[in-house]
Amino acid sequence: MGLLVWSPLAGGLLSGKFRRGQEGPEDSRRTTFDFPPVNKEYAYKVIDVMAKVAKARNTSIAQVALAWLLAKPVVTSVIIGAKNLTQLNDNIAATSLVLSPEELKTLDEASAPAPSYPGWMGMFNADRRAILENQVNAK
């Protein structure tokens, strides 16, 4: 099975033109129509890491985002939506960017979702353990 990724830059959010605490460009679609919906704080954390990689590689954040996605074995291609020729050329250049295993690991770690199941079960077990210990100690 392969994955064909639609909106890999999340409507421009992952291009680098949107940053924590900064207004996006007025002419950006995402400035007036915030779609697709994403957890912004989570995205900004990932964008910060992509920005460091982009700076070290002297390339754009958008290229890092696309190269990172294209490095995933399950991803067969991406569907980009460039607004102008500059964006199109920048996006296409991502196909030539090969990220190092260390860079990929750093990006994967920064974007890893918080554990859900079964991680949240530990919370209940810890509560149960504390309750049981209190009951035993009270006797």
Which carries the bigger pLDDT value, residue 128 or residue 109? 109
Residue 77: inside a domain: yes
Beta strands, E only, 30-130: 75-79
Q: How many angstroms separate the CA atoms of 138 and 131, rounded?
A: 10
Tell me if 10 is assigned to some domain: yes
Instruction: Report yes or no on 119 lying in a domain.
Output: no
The pLDDT tens digits for 2-35 are 999 999 999 889 998 888 888 777 778 777 777 7
Q: Is the separation of the CB atoms in 68 and 5 below 8 Å?
A: no
Q: Specify the 3-state DSSP secondary structure of 121.
A: helix
Tally of domains within the chain: 1
CA distance 101 to 71: 10
DSSP 115: P
Digit-coded pLDDT (tens) for 92-102: 999 999 999 99
Positive or negative, the CA dihedral 38, 90, 66, 41 is negative
Token code pair at residue 32: 């007036």
Q: Is 20 contained in some domain? A: yes
CATH label of the domain that carries residue 80: 3.20.20.100
Residue 124, pLDDT above cutoff 60: no
Q: Determine the structural domain holding residue 69 and report its residue range.
A: 3-114
Does some domain include residue 127? no
